[in-house]
């Protein structure tokens, strides 16, 4: 049987890299436009679509490399005879929504999410609103290679943004809630994709907002702000006696929260609050929530207390979404704040998550501190162990012995997750237990066993 070629450029979240360097240089971006354009035209012909010229939507976050990457992709699309519509600065879920509901064969989001400004990425979304299938991405890579081999010039196409696009997305989000939200809130937009959209959305809801990180300059996206850097948000929430705070990441596909006390309310807590609310309303099919192996045991037990079952997947929103689709689940997500409300969206959406949480707080008549206190978080620690080589964990006798001993001691009140990194020479040891002493003890013992078996490099 011939070996099936694997993708070389596309990872789990599109083509990522340092902007200006392969695979995120001008010619490769242009090549993606050509290949995507060819694919869109072939698909339109096969499906006998009536549009004479297929369209592809392009959006970006606030990185300085976004505009020239967008123009290169648009140039490639034009070479293939496909039109590009430019949304300008918009969120990743905004591109997904507009691609799904508009006349677009596909959408391209130019972003590297929570990464520093010098990174960027090209994420392709199908008309369904979901990421393209692996086999389609492989087809695109083949088309890209074909064009690159021609050594033709990559001619960018100047773009003008269509302001009606983000207005449609904002109107959709606002339409998912009713009534006003008379809260005093601090919102951190990470100097990213939410910077232009979030003020227009929340100002329409009767919410008094103190805005931070809303002055992007192309290089300050995620810089000491956003969902990965909550210190400034915590301080501002406490200083201003705000009801709570919200932090988005660079492309606003996730949101984390800070209660009035300064307590961080992560994606696990959001899954609990949303899962409980959906169950009360009879809108949680099969009483099921999908999370990952990294979600805290406290979440699983809190949900069980509400009669809700939790399924775990490998780390990554891709796997969460796949399981949600397989099980027809309405709610899933990760600790990082990447939460998917399948009733409303095909991907995690930080703005949508913020609206859902605000709705829960308003309708409960309670504070976010009180609501979040319903979930008890177990002490958790993650240790990375650098190794010289990788062998199946099942073959590491001493490691397996330590894992069994830990699980026996925990007796259902703790968890052990040991896995290898997919990209680095690391073994990751995550321990969750009833006490900090147990966590320290077993992360140390299991990490030491791995070092003895595989040799720290």
Contact 340, 321 (CB under 8 A): yes
- The model carries a pTM of 0.91
3-state secondary structure 334-393: CCCCCEEECCCCCCCCHHHHHHHHHHHHHHHCCCHHHHHCCCCCCCEEEEEEECCCCCCH
Residue 363, token pair as written in the block: 């309708």
Give the rounded distance of the alpha carbon of 294 from its chain centre.
15
Catalytic position from the list 65, 111, 113, 161:
113
Closest CA to 62 of 256, 205, 225, 228: 225
Architecture of domain 175-372 in this structure: 3-Layer(aba) Sandwich (3.40)
Class of 15-162 in CATH: alpha beta
Burial class (CB in 10 A: 0-12, 13-18, 19+), 31: buried
Tell whether the model's pLDDT for residue 237 goes beyond 70: yes
Q: Give the pLDDT of residue 5.
A: 55
Q: Give the pLDDT of residue 443.
A: 95
pLDDT in tens, 403-457: 999 999 998 889 999 988 866 788 999 999 989 999 999 999 999 999 998 876 5
Tell whether the model's pLDDT for residue 3 goes beyond 60: no
Residue 291, token pair as written in the block: 């999370």
Q: Give the pLDDT of residue 1.
A: 34
Q: Give the pLDDT of residue 46.
A: 60
DSSP string, 414-453: -EEEEEE-SSSSEEEEEEE-SSHHHHHHHHHHHHHHHHHH
- C-beta neighbour count of 296 within 10 angstroms: 23
Cα–Cα distance for residue pair 414/435, rounded to 1 Å: 9
- C-beta neighbour count of 50 within 10 angstroms: 6
- C-beta neighbour count of 444 within 10 angstroms: 15
Contact 87, 94 (CB under 8 A): yes
Cα–Cα distance for residue pair 124/58, rounded to 1 Å: 9
Task: Decide whether 15-162 matches 175-372 in CATH topology.
Answer: yes
Tell whether the model's pLDDT for residue 48 goes beyond 80: no
Length of the chain in residues, anyone? Answer: 457
Tell whether the model's pLDDT for residue 11 goes beyond 90: no
Contact 385, 429 (CB under 8 A): yes
Tell whether the model's pLDDT for residue 207 goes beyond 70: yes
Closest CA to 324 of 354, 364, 291: 291
Tell whether the model's pLDDT for residue 51 goes beyond 60: no
Q: What percent of the chain has pLDDT over 90?
A: 86
- Say which range, 4-13, 61-70, 164-173, 291-300, has the weakest mean pLDDT: 4-13
Average pLDDT, the chain: 93
pLDDT in tens, 250-295: 999 999 999 999 999 999 999 999 999 999 999 999 999 999 998 9
144, 149, 152, 154: CA torsion to nearest 10: 30
Contact 353, 367 (CB under 8 A): no
pLDDT in tens, 324-350: 999 999 999 999 999 999 999 999 999
User: Which residue is it, tokens 């930080």?
Assistant: 350
Peptide bond into 440 cis (omega under 30): no
Contact 417, 293 (CB under 8 A): yes
Which is it for strands 255-259 and 244-248: parallel, antiparallel or unpaired?
A: antiparallel
pLDDT in tens, 53-76: 799 999 999 999 999 999 999 999
Residue 180 annotated as catalytic: no
Please provide residue 96's backbone torsions phi and psi, each rounded to the nearest 5 degrees: -60, -45
- Sorted by where each begins, the domain ranges of the chain are 15-162, 175-372, 380-454
Q: Give the pLDDT of residue 4.
A: 42
Burial 53-75 (b: 16+ CB within 10 A, else e): ebbbbbbbbbbebbbebbbbbbb
Q: Read off the pLDDT of each residue in 371-394 and give the average, rounded to a whole number.
A: 91
- Domain covering 380-454, topology: TATA-Binding Protein (3.30.310)
**Helix axes 66-79 and 26-46, enclosed angle (nearest 10):** 40
Q: Give the pLDDT of residue 217.
A: 98
């Amino acid at each position: 049987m011939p070996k099936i070629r694997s993708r070389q450029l596309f990872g789990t979240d599109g083509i990522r890299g340092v902007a200006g360097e392969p695979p995120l240089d001008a010619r490769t971006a242009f090549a993606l436009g050509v290949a995507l354009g060819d694919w869109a035209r072939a698909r339109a012909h096969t499906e006998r679509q009536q549009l004479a010229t297929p369209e592809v939507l392009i959006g970006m976050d606030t990185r300085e490399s976004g505009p020239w990457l967008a123009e290169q992709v648009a140039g490639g699309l034009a070479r293939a005879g496909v039109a590009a519509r430019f949304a300008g600065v918009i969120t990743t879920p905004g591109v997904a929504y507009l691609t799904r509901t508009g006349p677009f064969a596909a959408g391209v989001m130019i972003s590297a999410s929570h990464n520093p400004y010098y990174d960027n990425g090209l994420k392709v979304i199908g008309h369904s609103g979901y990421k393209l299938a692996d086999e389609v991405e492989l087809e695109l890579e083949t088309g890209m290679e074909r064009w690159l081999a021609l050594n033709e010039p990559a001619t960018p196409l100047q773009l003008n943004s269509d302001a009606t696009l983000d207005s449609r997305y904002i109107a959709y989000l606002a339409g998912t809630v009713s009534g006003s939200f008379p809260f005093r809130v601090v919102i951190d937009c990470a100097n990213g994709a939410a910077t232009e959209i979030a003020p227009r959305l929340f100002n329409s809801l009767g919410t008094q907002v103190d805005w931070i990180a809303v002055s992007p300059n192309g290089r300050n996206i995620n810089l000491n702000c956003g969902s990965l850097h909550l210190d400034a948000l915590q301080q501002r929430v406490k200083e201003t006696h705000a009801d709570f705070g919200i932090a988005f990441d660079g492309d606003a596909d996730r949101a984390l929260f800070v209660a009035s006390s300064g307590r961080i309310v992560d994606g696990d807590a959001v899954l609990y609050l949303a899962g409980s609310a959906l169950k009360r309303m009879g809108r949680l099919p099969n009483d099921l929530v999908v999370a990952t192996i990294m979600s805290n045991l406290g979440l699983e037990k809190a949900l069980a207390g509400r009669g809700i079952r939790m399924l775990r997947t490998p780390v990554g929103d891709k796997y969460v979404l796949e399981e949600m689709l397989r099980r027809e689940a309405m709610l899933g997500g990760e600790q990082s704040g990447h939460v998917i409300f399948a009733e409303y969206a095909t991907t995690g959406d930080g703005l949508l998550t913020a609206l859902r949480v605000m709705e829960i707080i308003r309708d409960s008549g309670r504070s976010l501190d009180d609501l979040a206190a319903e979930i008890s978080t177990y002490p958790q620690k993650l240790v990375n162990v650098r190794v010289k080589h990788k062998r199946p964990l099942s073959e590491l006798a001493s490691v397996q012995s330590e894992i069994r001993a830990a699980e026996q001691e925990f007796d259902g009140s703790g968890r052990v997750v040991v896995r290898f990194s997919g990209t680095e020479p690391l073994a990751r040891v995550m321990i969750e237990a009833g006490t900090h002493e147990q966590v320290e003890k077993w992360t140390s013992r299991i990490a030491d066993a791995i070092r003895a078996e595989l040799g720290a490099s």
